[in-house]
Amino acid sequence: MMIHLAMATGFLLILIGFYGALSNRNLLRMIVAFTIADSGVNLVIVAIGYMPGRTAPILDATVKAGDAAARVIDPVPQALVLTAIVIGVGVTALMLAYAYKLYEKKRSLDIAKFTELRG
């Protein structure tokens, strides 16, 4: 139940992010929408790794090394999401830098004003 709830929220966030990126014309707001879609993707992947009734993949006094396979959740999706978040902020920073440069050129953040590449 919890998994489906989290997963549905993640997918919904992806859709909201896409909608925001498609329907807004302000560059900064499009980047905000992309970060929201990013959070949604991360949420979906983490939800896939979760298993009901198990704990975090960290061995300690209560989760012994011997019975770890029966007690912990899947650590692989977490490692993937760890990477995804860090890369995500790098990509966001790049998009912001380009948005700044475009603003420097045109004094505007409206993508409708950037017509050089229009056929």
Partner 1 sequence: MSLLLTAMTLVLCIAMIVAAFVAILGKSLPIAILAAGLVSLVASVLFVILASPDVAMTEAAIGSGLSTFLFFFVLGRVRGGERDGEDEPGSEHG
Partner 2 sequence: MVKRLLALLLLAAIGGIFTTLVLGYMPDAELNNTARYYADHTAADIGSANLVTAIVITYRGLDTLGEVTVLFLAAAILGLVLARGRRQVQARRELTPVGELLTTGSRVLVPLIMLLGVYVFVNGHLTPGGGFQGGAVIASGVLLLLLTDPLRQFAHTLIAAVESLAGVFYVAIGLMGLFLAGGFLDNRFLPIGTLGALFSAGAIPIIYTLIGLKVGAEFSVMLSDLSDTEAL
CB of 51 to partner 1, least distance (A): 9
Rule CB under 8 A: which of 39-98 touch partner 1? 39, 42-43, 46-47, 49-50, 52, 54-56, 58, 73, 78, 81-82, 85-86, 88-89, 92-93, 96-97
Rounded CA-CA distance 16/39 in Å is: 11
Q: Does 108 bind partner 2 (CB under 8 A)?
A: no
Q: How many residues of this chain bind partner 2 (CB under 8 A)?
A: 46
88: Cβ–Cβ under 8 A, 6 or more apart, which residues?
Answer: 35, 38, 42
Full 3-state SS string of 77-114: HHHHHHHHHHHHHHHHHHHHHHHHHHHHHHCCCEHHHC
Of partner 1, partner 2, none, which one sits near residue 116, judging by CB under 5 to 8 A according to partner kind? none
Q: Does 25 bind partner 2 (CB under 8 A)?
A: no
